[in-house]
């Protein structure tokens, strides 16, 4: 059975989602409606040079239509199937796809903690999350740079936990750091909003970080962004430590290893 807290967190994510969509959709409808009004006025005055109003309305309607398609794709997401998971192994196994994602001008560095605790999360979703973060990092470094993925055992203490509305305790952290453009505080404040993007039309969907946020929340985890304009960004994901027989630290495959490309 789902805990009340978890249910509440899901509702919070859903609320954020619908708020963002309503806003964007409304803007697009406003463009269509004002275009139709102007069109009507011009036509009633016998003017025939109205193509630009038709084009503007059609563009806005097309954008609204794409928005709802993305929303449908978003809501069709698979339910999570959490499983015991070794984040070090996952990051190691992803190095190939990450390198391909980053291209040649971006260096990939992984810093994997020795004796990393296990966590419990949906493996596909965590992989998606890491790829989403890597794509954002790549986009923030058009002139090249370095992407660092770091894992660590972390304890979120009572003060931090209370400040960030997360349960205190032990977590497995996966941090993705880039040396890119960074975010202004305005952008940072909106970064998790669904459909918020600063990338051009057809480039960004604005769903990457909101998906990562939703996944982390549903996994009873925590996510935090640190960013400095002109210097870079770190996104830290915390997933709860999995206790049990498996919490005997697995053989440290890499003890604080630093692997560079
Ligand atoms: P998208 O990547 O489609 O724009 P996201 O939700 O993943 O959607 O990101 C929202 C916005 O947050 C981006 O458009 C960008 O402005 C900002 N952002 C996200 N990650 C980074 C990063 N690593 N560096 C700088 N800005 C970022």
Query: Could you please report the per-residue DSSP string of 55-84?
Result: HHHHHHHHHHHHHHHHHHHHHTPPPP--EE
| pLDDT reported for residue 181 | 98
Pocket test for ligand 1, best of 146, 177, 209, 228 (most atoms within 8 A of CB): 209
pLDDT in the model for residue 68: 76
Cα 235 to Cα 175: distance, rounded to the nearest angstrom:
6
pLDDT beyond 90 at 43: yes
Sign of the C-alpha dihedral computed for residues 143, 105, 226 and 224 taken in this order: positive
Q: Name the pairing type of β-strands 257-260 and 145-156.
A: unpaired
State the average pLDDT for the chain: 85
How much is the pLDDT for 141?
98
Please provide residue 214's backbone torsions phi and psi, each rounded to the nearest 5 degrees.
Answer: -60, -45
Give the per-residue pLDDT at 16. 61
Question: Given this model, what pLDDT does residue 69 score?
Answer: 72
Quote the ligand 1 centre to 254 CA distance (angstroms): 31
Q: What is the DSSP letter of 142?
A: T
Asked if 133 and 112 count as a contact pair (C-beta separation under 8 A), the reply is: no
pTM of the model: 0.72
Q: How much is the pLDDT for 226?
A: 97
Which segments of 110-169 does DSSP mark as H helices, in order? 123-139, 158-163
Residue 201 clears pLDDT 50, i.e. is over it = yes
Mutate to test the pocket of ligand 1, among 197, 215, 231 (most ligand atoms within 8 A of CB): 197
Q: Is ligand 1 within 6 A of the CB of residue 191?
A: yes
Comparing 46 with 248, which gets the higher pLDDT? 46
């Amino acid at each position: 059975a789902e805990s009340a807290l978890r249910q509440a967190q899901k509702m919070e994510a859903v609320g954020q989602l619908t708020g963002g969509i309503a806003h964007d959709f409304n803007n697009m409808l406003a463009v269509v409606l004002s275009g139709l009004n102007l069109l009507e006025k011009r036509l009633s005055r016998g003017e025939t040079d109205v193509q630009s109003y038709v084009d503007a309305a059609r563009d806005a309607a097309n954008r609204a239509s794409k928005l709802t398609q993305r929303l449908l794709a978003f809501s069709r997401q698979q339910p999570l199937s959490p499983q015991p998971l070794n984040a070090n192994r996952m990051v190691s196994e992803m190095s190939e796809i990450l390198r391909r994602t980053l291209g040649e001008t971006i260096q990939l560095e992984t810093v994997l903690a020795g004796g990393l605790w296990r966590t419990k999360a949906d493996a596909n979703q965590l992989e998606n999350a890491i790829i989403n973060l890597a794509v954002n990092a790549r986009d923030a470094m058009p002139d090249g740079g370095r992407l660092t993925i770091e894992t660590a055992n972390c304890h979120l203490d009572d003060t931090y936990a209370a400040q960030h509305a997360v349960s205190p305790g032990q977590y497995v952290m996966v941090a993705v750091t880039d040396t890119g453009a960074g975010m202004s505080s305005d952008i940072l404040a909106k970064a998790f909003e669904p459909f918020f993007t600063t990338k051009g039309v057809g480039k960004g969907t604005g769903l990457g970080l909101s998906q990562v946020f939703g996944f982390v929340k549903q996994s009873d985890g925590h996510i935090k962004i640190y960013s400095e304009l002109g210097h870079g960004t770190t996104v830290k994901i915390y997933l709860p430590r999995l206790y049990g027989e498996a919490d005997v630290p697995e053989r440290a495959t890499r003890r604080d290893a630093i692997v560079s490309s």
